[in-house]
Structure 1
Amino acid sequence: MSDLLDWQRLALGVLRKSGRADEDTPPEAVADLLATDTYDGVRIAPLYTAADPAPPAGQPGHVPFVRGGHPAPRPWDVRQRHADPDPKVTRAAVLADLENGATSLWLAGIAPADLAEALDGVLLDLAGVVLDNGADTLAAARAFLALPGADKSGNLGADPLGLTARTGTVHDTSILSELSKMSGVPVATVDATVYHDAGGSDAQELGYATATGLAYLRELVGAGLSAGMALQQLEFRFAATADQFATIAKLRAARRIWSRVAQVCEVPHLGAQRQHAVTSSAMMTARDPWTNLLRTTIACFAAGAGGADAVTVQPFDARLGLPDAFSRRIARNTQSLLIEESGAARVLDPAGGSWYVESLTDALAHAAWDVFTEVERAGGMAAALRSGLVGDRIGTTWERRHADLAHRRQPITGVSEFPDLAERRPVRPPAPLPPSGGLPRHWYSQSFELLRDAADARADPPTVRLVTLGPTAANSARVSFATNLFAAGGVRLTADSTSPVACICGSDRSYASGVAELAARLRAEGVTRIWLAGQGPYDGVDSYLYMGCDALDVLRQTHLDLGVAQ
């Protein structure tokens, strides 16, 4: 306990220097002062100890399956996604993947009539195939099952409620009953990434996935399957992000929740949720796309450490269009490196026992259960989508997330922070448009990237005039801050500019004595808007740049002032 008290006292000293605490603040208040809250209301403490409560996680391979669905370590399934509508191109890419580390395939939007050509040469008894054909699911399933080979594996990919969420058009769950009578291949994929891509929270992703899975169980049991057989028909797809601890806890919490569903169905031993983790689309950027390599590597590690059965790493250029052979190879090798070289697959539940991870798993499971039960009280997932409940809840979360992105409380490296205005991005052929009409599809970087696009469309790059009070080198911190902020909107800050917009950088002392006179001189030279790096107020200054300001608002106003946007 003395160690904890020592830490509290040391942390309190820093907080007092920063102005976040005073001399009357007790040491035990440090935890609350440094804690943060997730979009689900889960409080993240700065430090966890054995005193933090969490229920027993059990053993790997046993109820409640928090620590994984298998009792022994094993490599996860390396699943590559293919969405090129040309079956010849897809076939070549598929064979290259399977020859170089991939162990299963995810075919998204390949026309049913083209499946035979796209899978020509694939040993379907060895490589699992997961279909993703939206409204063409039934036709695609028939075409796939008609291919040679009796021992096919994978999933037929029916997800009528997920398709409803994506398109806004109602799709009947009765397709599950029809598919379940066609073969022994599992029939349903509960794709929760639609809620993640719409801006939802982790608990919303889990809660809506659970409600969808339960709706599918009801349909399959109603078609004559036992509860145990119905459970074996489902696979769940979740987004893995660069927030590695949140991803690990999300996958562990998802298994705990689904185990509870199986327990209620009176088959608890069959409640090991089959999980497919795919690196988040929402976190991917079109600007500085090579940084996506780092994001997906962290997300892949988190998915593996979290116990995912299958993992898909999206190529770094996924936001630019259809990936090329190089980017698919790097995506494959990311997984191979983690499995083979780093040994990430040799340990079961490596985060298990961490007071932080166990507490976060427990809190997230409770938050997700609340989301799930709200949907059930509303009449189930189909009714919740139809009434707008799901869209309203996710929309509220997105507003909060968007505000954090705008204020750079959630920085995006290479886009909202440290952008490279000289970057030369690779060019890719356009990818097929995903289904639309239902829940919105967001990218965290989208607002900043739209501003960059508008600035880049100008023949002359937009600039803001840099004016320093004193030598530039003496004010380098504020100059760098302002330079990076304006660059996030494609605007260059330079002393050579004759722009009608100016930014003053200096010290607080120089501001107090020289800003008013400098501002008056700038007005006389035709400057119409004056920014100041720091916080005021100061006479003659219009607006301020500081840590935590609304960067998007700054950039949009600057675009308006420079005529970039009308």
Structure 2
Amino acid sequence: MATSNGKIVAALQAFLHDVYEKAAKKPGALRQGSFKTTSGVDLEPLYVPRDFDYDEKLGFPGQYPFTRGIQPTMYRGRFWTMRQYAGFGTAEETNARFHYLLKSGQTGLSTAFDLPTQMGHDSDSPRARGEVGRVGVTINATAATLLALYQAVGEAHGTPARELSGTVQNDVLKEYIARGTYIYPPGASMRIITDVFAYCAEVMPKWNPISISGYHIREAGSTAAQEIAFTLADGIAYVDAAVRRGLDVDAFAGRLSFFFNVHNNFLEEVAKFRAARRLWARTMRERFHAKDPRSCTLRFHAQTAGSTLTAQQPDNNVVRVALQAFAAVMGGCQSLHTNGRDEALALPTETSARLALRTQQIVANESGAADIVDPLGGSYALESLTDALEERAISYLTRIDEMGGMVEAIARGYPQREIDEAAYQYQREIEEKKRVIVGVNQFASEGEAPFDTMQVDPALEERQVKKLRAFRASRSQDAVTRSLSELRRGAEGSANVVPLIVSAVKSKTTLGEIANALREVFGEHGKERAAKS
């Protein structure tokens, strides 16, 4: 199906020349000289219908290329999962927060881990000192180990591995690009990731083996177009590695999930999600020859942008989060986390966490936004922005392919440099007041009342260390030693390490012990680079 609108385009050009430009040339007529999105897309003053192939560009919800959504009914069937990210202190404290949120109407769980956990250190490691339980709960798990622990607990409670469902983030490439919480060199990390893919396809078919994350890329300062491109480039690298491993693309691709940021530019963010869905669908069909339609669907979790929260006038963050949440819903997210108003200052209090959840519930139940599938689809401006972001993302992906793929591009520092430059330009615009941040560089106020924030008990670390040491004292050291020896042998060879990690956690081996055994075989990324230099 194609539309023809030559007369409308001609009329638009006449309007712009004869009416708009005359008005715009008057002194002080426009707020600024040019209007652009964060990705540098020039914004026209007015958009009209364009000639395009509807089936190729849009299609229908639940059908290729999934621009308009991955399900035919979308939120008419059920709302997106309201999955608030939470975790701090001890497992008991985090569990209490989970129960509080569930009683408040939350419909999914997402666990935040502390820095030692993410970096593969036990609570009593010297490298964990001062960080235990600070920005997440202390649970002994990095990606593959978390999966193993979850399986072990599920089986202990009578649920077989094949029935377990959930998601493990397991995305290390974005750590090298933007976040920094990596442990092993890229080659070893990619092996573990594909081990998880293979293991889940065989043993835990309802589990999502990865959440390919653009969120942290955007938090580091990327543009919307870069977020699409670098996230999908990571995804391409993972799929390519799994296919080279011998996995059938349709055996695992339907379980891949994504994680995107929701920033401030409302229309650009909605367009970003639509462009990402379309581009991923084409990539899976044309590049990887996926046959199952589910393999072409980009299912994504969204989180409002932590980097947009301000410590000044923190109540303003409620409005920012509401607009971002609305953009995520208009863009067709499958699940959503909304940030607390105080997260520029500390972890959210119970009151702030509940208000963030209520924001989603109001959007779902009171706005009417969930009653129409892809309600902004067909907007002249939105469809133009969707195309423009897709074109910019393709340009980045082409450059990455020319370098030999994302792993090589990261080694050359390409995405890191692009993000650094975008972040610099964004901050410069703020400092020069070309970009207004309400309450920061304009509309600031003096003498704001102190804002009550959440505090983590400083005695937590000592209590956690005692619990860990008691746990070690209660186990069979011989069983731990055997499991670690088997893990090292498997890592030195070509065995899938995930079953060996499962055996290790069932022998009560700790996170640090498992991570250190793999460090002995694979090394650490930072130390490897230092040795080469």
TM-score of the aligned structures, taking structure 2 as reference length: 0.71
> Is this contact kept in 2: 1:238–1:278, CA < 8 A?
yes
Residues 189, 64 of structure 1: alpha-carbon distance in 2 compared, 3 angstrom cutoff? same
CA RMSD of aligned residues (A): 2.7
| Structure 2 counterpart of 1:175, from 189, 192, 205 | 192
The match for 1:201 is: 223
> Is this contact kept in 2: 1:35–1:45, CA < 8 A?
no
1:308 to 2:308 alignment: no
For the pair shown, which has the larger CA radius of gyration, 1 or 2?
1
The match for 2:24 is: 15
1:57-456 matches, within 5 Å, as 57-74=58-75, 75-109=79-113, 136-147=142-153, 148=157, 149-150=159-160, 151-165=163-177, 166-167=179-180, 169=182, 170-171=185-186, 172-180=189-197, 181=199, 182-184=203-205, 185-264=207-286, 265-267=288-290, 269-270=293-294, 271-429=296-454
> Is this contact kept in 2: 1:240–1:300, CA < 8 A?
yes
- One-letter amino acid of the structure 1 residue matched with residue 351 of structure 2: F
Residues 132, 236 of structure 1: alpha-carbon distance in 2 compared, 3 angstrom cutoff? farther
- One-letter amino acid of the structure 1 residue matched with residue 145 of structure 2: A
Q: Hey, what's the Cα distance between the residues in 2 that align with 1:425 and 1:303?
A: 31
Q: Hey, what's the Cα distance between the residues in 2 that align with 1:92 and 1:261?
A: 42
Residues 199, 378 of structure 1: alpha-carbon distance in 2 compared, 3 angstrom cutoff? same
Q: Hey, what's the Cα distance between the residues in 2 that align with 1:46 and 1:275?
A: 31
Q: How many angstroms does 1:167 deviate by?
A: 1.4
Residues 88, 334 of structure 1: alpha-carbon distance in 2 compared, 3 angstrom cutoff? same
Residues 133, 298 of structure 1: alpha-carbon distance in 2 compared, 3 angstrom cutoff? farther
Residues 376, 7 of structure 1: alpha-carbon distance in 2 compared, 3 angstrom cutoff? closer
Q: Hey, what's the Cα distance between the residues in 1 that align with 2:432 and 2:148?
A: 50
User: Mean alpha-carbon deviation: is it higher for 374-383 or for 161-170?
Assistant: 161-170
| Count of equivalent residues | 404
The match for 1:563 is: none
Q: How many angstroms does 1:137 deviate by?
A: 1.5
Q: Find the residue that maps to 2:347 and give its secondary structure.
A: coil
Per-residue CA deviation, residues 311-342 of structure 1 (Å, 9 max, x unaligned), is: 11011111111111111111111111111121
The match for 1:438 is: none
Residues 20, 296 of structure 1: alpha-carbon distance in 2 compared, 3 angstrom cutoff? closer
Q: How many angstroms does 1:308 deviate by?
A: 0.8
More strand by share: 1
Per-residue CA deviation, residues 231-284 of structure 1 (Å, 9 max, x unaligned), is: 123211111022110110000000011001111222252311011111011111
1:544-555 matches, within 5 Å, as none
TM-score of the aligned structures, taking structure 1 as reference length: 0.67
The match for 1:560 is: none
Residues 430, 394 of structure 1: alpha-carbon distance in 2 compared, 3 angstrom cutoff? farther
Q: How many angstroms does 1:7 deviate by?
A: 6.5
> Is this contact kept in 2: 1:304–1:344, CA < 8 A?
yes
- One-letter amino acid of the structure 2 residue matched with residue 12 of structure 1: E
Q: Find the residue that maps to 1:81 and give its secondary structure.
A: strand
Q: Hey, what's the Cα distance between the residues in 2 that align with 1:133 and 1:349?
A: 39
- One-letter amino acid of the structure 2 residue matched with residue 45 of structure 1: E
Q: Hey, what's the Cα distance between the residues in 2 that align with 1:98 and 1:53?
A: 45
Q: Hey, what's the Cα distance between the residues in 2 that align with 1:36 and 1:297?
A: 24
Residues 112, 198 of structure 1: alpha-carbon distance in 2 compared, 3 angstrom cutoff? closer
> Is this contact kept in 1: 2:266–2:324, CA < 8 A?
yes
Gaps of 5+ in 2: 1-7, 119-136, 458-533
Residues 8, 289 of structure 1: alpha-carbon distance in 2 compared, 3 angstrom cutoff? farther
Q: Hey, what's the Cα distance between the residues in 1 that align with 2:344 and 2:388?
A: 33
Q: How many angstroms does 1:424 deviate by?
A: 1.7
- One-letter amino acid of the structure 2 residue matched with residue 337 of structure 1: I
Q: Hey, what's the Cα distance between the residues in 2 that align with 1:296 and 1:132?
A: 28
Q: How many angstroms does 1:219 deviate by?
A: 2.5
The match for 2:531 is: none
1:532-551 matches, within 5 Å, as none
Q: How many angstroms does 1:168 deviate by?
A: 7.5
> Is this contact kept in 2: 1:112–1:143, CA < 8 A?
no
- One-letter amino acid of the structure 1 residue matched with residue 328 of structure 2: A
- One-letter amino acid of the structure 2 residue matched with residue 141 of structure 1: L
- One-letter amino acid of the structure 2 residue matched with residue 59 of structure 1: F
The match for 1:37 is: 36
- One-letter amino acid of the structure 2 residue matched with residue 49 of structure 1: V
Aligned-pair identity (%): 28
Q: Hey, what's the Cα distance between the residues in 1 that align with 2:396 and 2:72?
A: 30
Q: Hey, what's the Cα distance between the residues in 1 that align with 2:138 and 2:14?
A: 54
